[in-house]
Structure 1
């Protein structure tokens, strides 16, 4: 142990340990106590105790084991204080007391149970998202609030309500039976991808990307793929995240400003990660159930990843893939992306008709996405005054400062 470290250093170390081990610590405690809410509370108490002790005693060699052991002892103390000495609690206390630090080896399937429990259908989608981001992605309530664009108090209320609901419904800490995976797995994958997309393109703030969130989502996806090898959409989601993450180094310049796809230096794309994406998509296809929404999105991302340039991209194939995705998972964002692909395949006039149809239907109202695409198309058609107006509208709607600055710069260039 390294003794005499500052509180700031210990806090940084704890933050790193929690991001890496937090989900497994909570999963191990939830397995022993049978209560996800209690497990998360115990883990937070252990973190506070570590922050108090480690500056003097030093950081343990196995920090995750230390936190789990301390949390376990607190569980025992709590049960004893409440004088709940029935057979169930005595057995739990015995199991926790018998688990030594050296024997602490949390299993990956415990993390899977934690994810599935947090996404139990007894919870609303909003509560599923908030609780999963808290106990699985190990994000603070402040980070979750920024990510979801809601007040911190709202996030805290959702998490508290979710814990109470799981306890009241006696939801077991376990992965569901295979017959229940359809609905449950969809929620799990949706939350994981939500974490990734927030990291890929932050909805707010002064950074265009939050790669720590994206990498955490990718890690969770890889864990799920290892535990559920016969679920094609798990592999499809991993493939999609691998392809998109491969471009991270080229997506911002030295000042952190966004670099759009057409302007990216493709030599900076991570070819090894692209290879992992190709392999993951092949695993999804090998299951033999056809491509779902994530696999189709991964196939679109693959077209970009393997193309030597924008002009050499197989835009016709991308249009077809978007058409398939739109039938499988109808969504105005999918249709807007199809319009972008159509503009590259057959020209901006055809694409503008699609976008105008979305605008007439009121789709994506209040989002910067539609006016930003419409502005680009109008610019390519030489209708610069209209294009500038659309880009300025998009800039005013974009909550991310970097995104807004890019849109304003494009509008200024059309004067």
Structure 2
């Protein structure tokens, strides 16, 4: 049970413990080392003395003590220069160290990929090896990227604080959490969105949290024996309907703002609320996609609109939209998967098979590539 308690504390408390320690050390690496040592101490002490009533407080105190020991041993207290800008006495919008950490990691001066990687490392506490796996790069490459991002924060004097103008900076934070979600690290994205909702409740935060919760609620039906299952063929009895019902009030609160995450959450809610695929409210989904494309004109949103249009006006209409998007989405495997479905419905099977082959060649995982290849093979059998 002790291992589970430490693991749970790691997921819940890492960001707060690291942020508190960084306020002391004003240095990333020293803070990370001290926090890691604190968790190692917990593995040694908690089995003997029991899990403390306040694990986060215990870990923070231990990490700070270890950081101070390191600084004293190096005589750092006398000669240390501040490597992070921490304005003294400046007003802060929200007094929470985790939120300061998130806004620092998501600062627009950093490249977007660097923001995502730093957030996974510093806010979620993921090891560099796991982040490298998500980005499909060698561990050494990711370690170098993280080091460069930290140097950028130091050299640019990016402050360890919540900005006064949350309206302009919040989209950058939400974009990072959304990328964590779309990269496949759904559990971590859910943690980040839940943390943001508790610290900074607002319509778009509600929308992103609802979108991720609805995705998690349907995850059990997305794969069978390791193979992806299309929405139309999913066993909806495997969906977590209680979790879906719990997410719907969040969607309602999100729609008061009408931003892109709220609209995506509303689309996901309509899919999740339909008893069967045939019962899906495609006209309402198309209307939401129309609004989404208007406020957030991304090619992937336009592809979702093409699928909804095909359900209403037929596969020829969907194919025409997909072909129009090929210039921007030719590298995206789901564009070719959608084209294959439209072409097959129109009886153009050889072209559909070629689109499936393209989807297989571009698929991000072996399981998805195998799915599209098998679809080609199954259609070729007499």
Quick check: TM above 0.5? yes
Give the deviation of 1:50 after TM superposition: 5.5
Give the secondary-structure state (helix, strand or coil) at the position aligned to 1:22. helix
Tell me which residue corresponds to 1:152.
139
Instruction: Answer whether contact 2:307 2:318 (CA < 8 A) is retained.
Output: yes
Give the secondary-structure state (helix, strand or coil) at the position aligned to 1:173. coil
Q: Counterparts of 2:143 and 2:179 in 1: how far apart (Å)?
A: 19
Instruction: Answer whether contact 1:108 1:223 (CA < 8 A) is retained.
Output: no
Tell me which residue corresponds to 2:87.
none
Instruction: Answer whether contact 1:246 1:270 (CA < 8 A) is retained.
Output: yes
Gaps of 5+ in 1: 3-9, 90-106, 200-212
Tell me which residue corresponds to 1:61.
51
2:255 maps to which of 282, 285, 295? 285
Give the deviation of 1:394 after TM superposition: 1.1
Tell me which residue corresponds to 1:195.
180
Instruction: Answer whether contact 1:375 1:387 (CA < 8 A) is retained.
Output: yes
1:185 maps to which of 170, 192, 203? 170
How many positions carry a matched residue from both structures?
Answer: 366
Tell me which residue corresponds to 1:409.
374
1:398 maps to which of 358, 363, 366? 363
Q: Counterparts of 2:253 and 2:95 in 1: how far apart (Å)?
A: 20
2:126 maps to which of 139, 161, 165? 139
The within-5 A match list for 1:199-218 is 199=184, 213-218=185-190
Q: Counterparts of 1:218 and 1:120 in 2: how far apart (Å)?
A: 21
Q: TM-score, normalised by structure 1?
A: 0.81
CA displacement 1:68-87 (0-9 Å, x = unmatched): 33321222123223334459
Q: TM-score, normalised by structure 2?
A: 0.87
Gaps of 5+ in 2: 82-93
Are positions 1:42 and 2:34 aligned together? Answer: yes
Tell me which residue corresponds to 1:24.
16
Q: Counterparts of 1:228 and 1:50 in 2: how far apart (Å)?
A: 30
CA displacement 1:265-288 (0-9 Å, x = unmatched): 2222222221222111222234xx
Q: Which runs of 4+ in 1 moved over 6 A?
A: none
Give the deviation of 1:388 after TM superposition: 0.9
1:221 maps to which of 187, 193, 201? 193
Give the deviation of 1:59 after TM superposition: 7.4
Are positions 1:250 and 2:229 aligned together? Answer: no
Give the deviation of 1:66 after TM superposition: 4.5
Give the deviation of 1:339 after TM superposition: 0.9
Give the secondary-structure state (helix, strand or coil) at the position aligned to 2:228. coil
Q: Report the RMSD for the aligned CA atoms in angstroms.
A: 2.6
CA displacement 1:48-100 (0-9 Å, x = unmatched): 5566x469x747513544543332122212322333445999xxxxxxxxxxx
CA displacement 1:371-395 (0-9 Å, x = unmatched): 1111111111111111111101211
CA displacement 1:117-162 (0-9 Å, x = unmatched): 1112232222211110111122221211121222322211121122
